[in-house]
């Protein structure tokens, strides 16, 4: 019997069936009926462990519905964070990324960049201890903010190519947003030159292609971390 791992972020749900830490096909859903989507994934197969990582609140009634469709439900909450020595204010997706990075790069310091609605940057020392992290607006959030909070700037998206300086409104926005994020990344890398640099999240590949430094791209880092949490939970139980 396989485990089902589910990560609900600010804009989308990602899920995967897994055997141990081996992930299967990744499913993605954007919409308001996330509980129904999770339940639909269990119609043909009952998970042994269903792991839920969510930045959104689930009512006790909805938690009960999830408990009914699996053998064991594990919600990544403060007790899980505490068991991994992570601060209780941390979101569960960031915690899962750290768990996976500890496993993949054991004995090495890491700087973990997660490119989503927000850009989070987390720092691990060579012993896997969390040393702190930062949050700033993600790429799409920066484009949307310029459009929303100005009277005249258009809504744009990340281009395939940018110039070092803009020569009209559109190219100025594109260069400003993308170059700003690149300078941000490079600053963190220069500040922690001994660390392994790990990119994950929706825009990870976009920015990795533009880096001159050595980068490890792990697109499903959060899901891998949740799979590891499920395995360790099973071993303790």
Alpha-carbon gap, residue 170 to 162, rounded angstroms = 10
The residues assigned a catalytic role are 93
Contact 31, 45 (CB under 8 A): no
The pairs formed by 122-131 with CB atoms below 8 angstroms and a separation of 24 or more are 122/94, 122/97, 122/98, 123/192, 123/195, 124/98, 124/195, 128/102, 129/85, 130/85, 130/86, 130/87, 130/98
Q: Which helix (H) or strand (E) holds 10?
A: none
Contact 79, 39 (CB under 8 A): no
> Phi and psi (nearest 5°) for 31?
170, -175
Contact 115, 203 (CB under 8 A): yes
């Amino acid at each position: 019997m396989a485990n089902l791992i589910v990560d609900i972020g600010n804009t989308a749900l990602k899920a995967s069936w897994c055997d141990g830490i081996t992930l299967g096909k990744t499913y993605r859903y954007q919409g308001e009926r996330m509980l129904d989507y999770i339940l639909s994934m269990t119609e043909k197969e009952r998970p042994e462990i269903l792991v839920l990582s969510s930045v959104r609140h689930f009512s006790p009634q909805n938690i009960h519905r999830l408990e009914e469709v699996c053998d064991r439900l594990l919600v990544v909450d403060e007790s899980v964070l505490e068991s991994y020595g992570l601060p209780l204010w941390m979101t569960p997706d960031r915690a899962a990324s750290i768990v996976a990075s500890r496993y993949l790069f054991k004995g090495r310091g890491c700087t973990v960049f997660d490119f989503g609605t927000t850009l989070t940057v987390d720092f691990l020392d060579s012993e896997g201890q969390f040393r702190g992290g930062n949050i700033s607006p993600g790429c799409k959030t920066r484009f949307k903010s310029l459009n929303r909070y100005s009277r005249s700037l258009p809504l744009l998206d990340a281009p395939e190519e940018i110039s070092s300086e803009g020569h009209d409104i559109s190219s100025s926005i594109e260069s400003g947003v993308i170059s700003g994020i690149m300078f941000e990344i490079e600053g963190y890398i220069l500040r922690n030159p001994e660390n392994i640099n790990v990119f994950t999240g929706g825009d990870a590949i976009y920015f990795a292609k533009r880096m001159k430094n050595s980068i490890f791209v792990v697109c499903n880092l959060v899901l891998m971390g949740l799979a590891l949490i499920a395995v360790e939970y099973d071993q303790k139980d």
